[in-house]
Amino acid sequence: MQIFQYPSQPEWAALQQRAAQQQAHDVEQRVQQIFTDVRRRGDAALVEYARTFDGADLSAGLRVTPDELEAAGGQVPAELQTAIRQAHANIRRFHEAQRPTEEKVETMPGVLCWRRAVPVQRVGLYIPGGTAPLFSTLLMLGVPARLAGCPEIVLCTPPQKDGSVNPIILFTAQLLSITTIIKAGGAQAVAALSGGTESVPAVDKIFGPGNRYVTAAKQLATRYGVAIDMPAGPSEVLVIADDSANPAFVAADLLSQAEHGPDSQVILLSDSMTIIEATKAEVQRQLATLPRAAVATQALDESRAILLRTPEEMLFFSNQYAPEHLILAVKNPEQLAEGVTSAGSVFLGHLTPEAAGDYASGTNHTLPTNGYAHNYSGVSLDSFLKKITYQRITAEGLLNLGPVVETMAEAEGLSAHARAVTLRLESLAGGQ
């Protein structure tokens, strides 16, 4: 980690830069080719991509069979099953509390307005496989999708080389009662979800993380009328640590994000050089024992430890950076947290590791990255709902509201709008 001492505010912008996003023209061009191919050839294209990118032969079919789904439980250790069930319960409890209430508002006598939440009808969940099959992300997306009442949930995840799907992902899908599971990964899975194939139903909204090809594919899907959860990029964490912090805890939190991928970013802010130096030493000590040390090392190359003067200055820096994860390892975390304006998820105190939110505390770990916490929230129950407004106007209401609408419509030169009200008022005046 690079260390910077008391940088001036004009220097902050450079320190807040993420690693260059490799959304190069060639990536976008390749993703467009994949979209065109999948839309033209359907399942045949997906089978070919599985052979090329995953080394899997899916000529027998792209869908996970009921037998495959049923057999998954026997391949998942009992201890892990128990942990997944507990995480499922916590995530469900937190998201269930987000159910919206339907309240009717009488804006003036006889004019009644309200809003009703309805589920997105068809949602696609993309869950990466490979070296780190993210079954935890399936919980984070599947639980609110189920609570929202989405009638159709389609899961896409890459196959393993033998053509199977990771049994932990299948066990989790079974727990969520998700049965439409497609063996497809990468940009081709997003392309299939956005337009449909013989085996893959088209969806209205796509959720889930992925590499730069998946990210580019999700952005391209929006051009085909399909919504996405949010713009996404490499994972990141910012830790604010004062002299009360435990360097071993802080180092572990930094490394837990660094091991996600070589383009992840971690930032440490502190008003204590002693904490920075001790944390840096701890990072090196713990790094030596990590199985994914090579990945974490690459991420640390783009990471920074910055010495600032006060907690307020550190918070100001953080709000400008807008981190995906913000850890407040300080004496009075609740007090400092009141000033947070831009962050995906906040972790308060020395005993609240970011990893808890990644897996099982209950909050959602699908969060805005790359500065999008300035204007996006993380995934929630709302992400799977649409809000439709309703209104009903009585005779009394039209008499009260009608002249207001007529006056405004005429002022905008929209006479047909005014007439739609005038005809009704004349009808009421005539006793009809």
Does residue 350 have a known ligand-binding role?
Answer: no
Does residue 272 have a known ligand-binding role?
Answer: no
Does residue 260 have a known ligand-binding role?
Answer: yes
Does residue 325 have a known ligand-binding role?
Answer: yes
Does residue 103 have a known ligand-binding role?
Answer: no
Q: Please tell me which residue in 302, 325, 365, 406 is annotated as part of the active site.
A: 325
Give CA–CA dist 275/364, Å, rounded.
Answer: 30
Does residue 302 have a known ligand-binding role?
Answer: no
Does residue 332 have a known ligand-binding role?
Answer: no
Does residue 9 have a known ligand-binding role?
Answer: no
Q: Please tell me which residue in 236, 259, 282, 324 is annotated as part of the active site.
A: 324
The answer to whether residue 324 is catalytic is: yes
Does residue 412 have a known ligand-binding role?
Answer: yes
Does residue 358 have a known ligand-binding role?
Answer: yes
The answer to whether residue 325 is catalytic is: yes
Task: Point out the annotated binding site for NAD(+).
Answer: 126, 188, 211
Task: Point out the annotated binding site for Zn(2+).
Answer: 257, 260, 358, 417
Task: Point out the annotated binding site.
Answer: 126, 188, 211, 235, 257, 260, 325, 358, 412, 417
Q: Which residues are catalytic?
A: 324-325
